[in-house]
């Protein structure tokens, strides 16, 4: 993953032109042109799914692993989060 606000200023950044022809349209049926969806610097999740299929990578397995990583990361800092929450005046 990358930081879009920084990357969009790069010299080699390619805007995504989707099905509607509008810049920034992330629909996955843009033509294979330099500014087409496959060559753009920012893909939609559907575009990523299709690329994974071409590569033989399971999109669902990748995102299951990402979800697991997020959960484990939150579990690792849960004690600090709960301590900080108890210390605040604004508890729900």
Do residues 89 and 66 both lie within one domain? yes
Do residues 52 and 67 both lie within one domain? no
Mean pLDDT of 68-86: 94
Do residues 42 and 1 both lie within one domain? yes
Q: Examine the pLDDT at 71 and tell me if it is beyond 90.
A: yes
Q: What is the pLDDT of residues 29-56, one digit of tens each?
A: 444 433 455 666 678 899 999 999 999 9
User: Which carries the bigger pLDDT value, residue 81 or residue 38?
Assistant: 81
> What domain count does the chain have?
2
| Residue 28 CB neighbour total at 10 angstroms | 18
pTM comes to 0.55
What secondary structure letter does DSSP report for 36?
Answer: S
Do residues 42 and 70 both lie within one domain? no
Q: CA 84, CA 82: separation in Å to the nearest integer?
A: 5
Do residues 46 and 73 both lie within one domain? no
Sign of torsion over alpha carbons 32, 35, 41, 45: negative
Estimate to the nearest angstrom the gap between the alpha carbon of 49 and the chain centroid: 11
Domain with 31, as residue range(s), is: 1-57
């Amino acid at each position: 993953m990358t930081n879009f606000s920084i990357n969009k200023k790069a010299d080699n950044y390619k805007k995504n032109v989707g099905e509607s022809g509008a810049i920034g349209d992330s629909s996955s049926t843009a033509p294979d042109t330099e500014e087409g969806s496959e060559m753009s610097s920012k893909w939609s999740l559907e575009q990523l799914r299709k690329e994974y299929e071409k590569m033989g990578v399971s999109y669902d397995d990748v995102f299951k692993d990402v979800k697991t990583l997020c959960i484990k990361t939150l579990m690792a800092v849960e004690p600090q989060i709960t301590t900080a929450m108890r210390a605040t005046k604004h508890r729900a």
